[in-house]
Chain A
Amino acid sequence: MLETFNFRVLWEYMPLFMKGLWATSWISLLGLAGALLTGTIACVARLTRVPFLWRLVVAYIEIVRSTPLLAQLYFFYFGLPSLGLRLSEHATGILALTLNSGAYMAEIIRAGVLSIQRGQIEAATALGMNFFQRLRHVVLPQAVGVTIPPLLGQTIVLVKDSALLSLISVFELTRASQMLASERFMPTEGFLTTALLYLFLYYILKTCSSQWQKRLIYRKAS
């Protein structure tokens, strides 16, 4: 099956793959930062219970969750220019990733905040803590701990989703393998190498997630 596997060409293209891995990493990182910001804002807006804001955020979350990322990506890629907005492919892609993941992050963060019992917040108020003290000493330490594993899970999804950016000709890991496939007609080498590099990122994130989960269980037990 793999007797025709050409390692020499693969070696020659290694710098390209490393560049692709690097591009995928920083695109995902930017997308993650944007998604965390969007998610936090959306979550806060949803929890304030201002009717207009609340409806807007719920509509945003439901629309994002019921349409595929690829359609959203094309929506921005083909749609923004007709609004007079000319973004680069990179910016368009990161924008789509941010808005897509932001909706999922909002739900995860909301679940984390809701997991804190009301009594604790009331007790903190009774002890004379102000809003920020309650947030810093009571709500956040507990909410962050519970949300980290699902947030890392969503980050894995984000890294994988960034592969779709290759379809609007952003250079990243998947694009690198497509180049190898079209320039040297070597799809096997290219796509399998790409898959392995994605798995490398996946295992890093997965290990972080399970380590954190262990810590959570340990903390609960002690």
Chain B
Amino acid sequence: MWGYYFQQLTASVPFFLKGLWMTVLVSGSSLIMGTVLGFALGVLRTSRIGPFRFLLALYVDFMRGTPFLVQVFIVFFILPEWGIHLEAFSAAVLSLTAYAAAYICEIVAGGILVVPRGQKEAARASGLTRFQVLRLVVLPQAMRVILPPLVGQYVLLVKDSSVVSVIGLTDITRVGWLTVQRVPEGLMVFGLVGVLYFAVCYPLIRLSNRLEKRMSVQAFRL
């Protein structure tokens, strides 16, 4: 019996690879958009515009204080009631992007705050525009603090993308869930699912650790 199931499972490996591709696609696109949005929000959060900061703090608290599953349900089930109809893929990317942006916003804001104020003032005094100050002075230094947790956040993003399987997107987790109905060997099926996630996430975790070591050495030299 076990051998038969194993054969069944090897037969559905292409199906699993398709799921892997879907996971990479969903988390990849939300990763890019979440990073862009997160950086923009992070810069706004450290700005001195009061209402902005308050609204952003509210937004970040909401994203951090509620489970991602509930957020996915809100995007997928509530937005249609307000007249915004999204298919599973866009709903998944939208919720993942909004979720990742909140965390990245905090990471970026934390990195910007590390740069001493005097540097910004000096750069402004030497005639750089606000945008130039940000691009040439603040961000290059903040990157050292931002990069390691940012990559860590990407790992979380890939892992959290498994939750969007509940709205019917056939990512790895959903492929596993579908397969286990046919091949009732949960250990094998979800073992394979785990291996595929591991293949994506483990290199990222190693990268994050390496960055952390390298960046801290550089900071020490300063």
Interface residues of A (CB under 8 A from B): 1, 62-63, 65-72, 74-75, 77-83, 156, 160-164, 166-167, 174, 177-178, 181, 187-188, 191-192, 194-195, 198-199, 201-203, 206
Contact = CB atoms under 8 A, between A and B. Distances in A.
Contact of B187 (A79, A194, A206): A79
B116 interface: no
B55 to A, nearest CB: 16
Contacts of B202: 62, 66
B97 interface: no
Given A1-B82, A68-B160, A71-B173, A163 B190 contact: no
A198 B205 contact: no
A188 B79 CA distance: 9
Contacts of A66: 155, 197-198, 201-202, 205
Given A62-B205, A69-B159, A70-B165, A188 B186 contact: no
Given A77-B186, A187-B81, A160 B68 contact: yes
Nearest to B199: A66
Interface in B66-107: 66-71, 73-74, 77-78, 81-82
B185 interface: yes
B67 A161 contact: yes
Given A66-B155, A174-B67, A191-B74, A74 B173 contact: yes
Contacts of A191: 70, 73-74, 77-78
Contacts of A81: 186
Among B65, B177, B180, B193, the one with the most A-chain Cβ atoms within 10 Å of its Cβ is B65
Contact of A82 (B62, B160, B184, B197): B184
A82 B73 contact: no
Nearest to A199: B65
A74 B177 contact: yes
Contacts of B189: 78
Nearest to A77: B186
A75 B187 contact: yes
A202 B58 CA distance: 13
Nearest to B67: A163
Nearest to B161: A68
Among B64, B67, B159, the one with the most A-chain Cβ atoms within 10 Å of its Cβ is B67
Interface of B: 61-62, 64-71, 73-74, 77-78, 81-82, 155, 158-163, 165-166, 172-173, 176-177, 180, 184-187, 189-191, 193-194, 197-198, 201-202, 205
A70 B159 CA distance: 9
A97 to B, nearest CB: 13
B contacts with A: majority SS? helix
Contact of B159 (A68, A82, A206): A68
Given A78-B186, A191-B77, A163 B70 contact: yes
13 contacts: A62-B205, A63-B198, A68-B163, A71-B172, A71-B173, A75-B194, A78-B187, A79-B186, A160-B67, A162-B67, A163-B68, A167-B166, A191-B77
B18 to A, nearest CB: 17
A187 B67 contact: no
A194 B184 CA distance: 34
Given A62-B202, A67-B197, A166-B69, 12 more contacts: A63-B198, A65-B201, A67-B159, A68-B163, A71-B193, A78-B184, A80-B186, A164-B67, A187-B81, A198-B65, A198-B70, A202-B65
A46 to B, nearest CB: 16
B180 A78 contact: yes
Nearest to B198: A66
Nearest to A205: B65
Contacts of B177: 74
Contacts of B173: 68, 70-71, 74
Nearest to A167: B166
B118 to A, nearest CB: 24
A104 B194 CA distance: 18
A137 B172 CA distance: 49
Contacts of B190: 71, 74-75, 78-79
Nearest to A72: B194
Contacts of B201: 65-67
